[in-house]
Each structure stands twice: as C-alpha cells, then as structure tokens.
C-alpha cells in the first residue's frame, strides 16, 4: 500500500518491483488518484488498485497488507498518529512500514517524531537510511 502517492512519482517502479504482488494506492484527493491512474496506464502497470480515503480511516480489512509506505506524506495528514494507527490495523503482524521524509518539504517531520509516532501505534523501529538531509525510517508491526 502506498499512502499519498500524489501523481505517482514512485508508483510504477514499485508496482513493477512486485510483479507477483499487488500495489494499492490510497489518497484522499480524487484528482491525485486520477493522475496516478493515467500515469500507470501509460506505463502499462496492471497490478494496482486505487482507494480514496482519509489516512486515519483506511477502509481495509485487518492484516490486509504486507507493506505500507509513505513518501513526504506523514507531516501533511491532519492526524499523523491516527494515520499510523490505521496503517498498523491494515498491516499483518510483522508487516513493514516505511516512512520517507525529504528535504525541502515544508511539512517534513523529523525522524525522532516519526519514530515516536510509529512506536506509540504498534511498530518497532528497524532501521534508518539517510537521504541528503532527509531519511527513510523502517518499522515492523509488532507480532501479538
């Protein structure tokens, strides 16, 4: 699941990297979903689906996904903690959450805040990869 794909900068590449899997793109803005749908159609990507939803109220069954990722999104949602909790519900135990924050984004969250939110909503910290003044932090959903 990609939450907040915008026009789909990363979506086609991610979908191609899981040819036996499925990528669900979730955005609150219908216009963004339309843009990413067109981009993926041009790229010939077929293993995708689309859902319009609020980040803190994802419309998926519990344990529905193996991985969720957000790129420059968590700081933009009205309720980051609710968003992380909703993602946690949608991920299977042991599932991976990957959060990237990029330089230049006025809504970028510091790594310490991302980590605190993730850990407070059912995730364990795994690792961080630096990205030119930004980062990607990975977490695993706690197994019960």
The CATH number of whichever domain residue 80 belongs to comes to 3.40.50.150
- Model pLDDT, residue 18: 93
State the pTM of this model: 0.94
Backbone angles phi, psi at 142, to 5 degrees: -65, 140
Closest CA to 119 of 142, 92, 96, 135: 142
Q: Which of 8 and 144 is assigned the larger pLDDT?
A: 8
- pLDDT at position 116 is 98
**Number of domains into which the chain is organized:** 1
Per-residue pLDDT, 123: 98
Structural domain range at position 110: 2-141
φ and ψ at 33, to 5 degrees? Answer: -65, -35
Residue 72 confidence (pLDDT): 94
């Amino acid at each position: 699941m990609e939450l907040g794909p915008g026009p789909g900068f990363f979506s086609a590449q991610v979908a191609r990297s899981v040819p036996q899997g499925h990528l669900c793109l979730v955005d609150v803005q219908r216009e963004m979903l339309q843009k990413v749908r067109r981009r993926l159609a041009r790229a010939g990507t077929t293993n995708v689906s689309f859902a319009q939803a609020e980040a803190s109220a994802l419309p998926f069954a519990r344990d529905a996904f193996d991985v969720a990722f957000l790129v420059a999104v968590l700081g933009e949602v009205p309720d980051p903690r609710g968003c992380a909790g909703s993602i946690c519900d949608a991920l299977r135990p042991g599932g991976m959450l990957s959060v990237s924050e990029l330089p230049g984004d006025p809504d970028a969250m510091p790594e310490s805040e991302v980590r605190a939110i993730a850990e407070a909503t059912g995730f364990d910290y795994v690792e961080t990869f630096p990205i030119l003044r930004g980062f990607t932090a990975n977490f695993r959903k706690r197994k019960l």
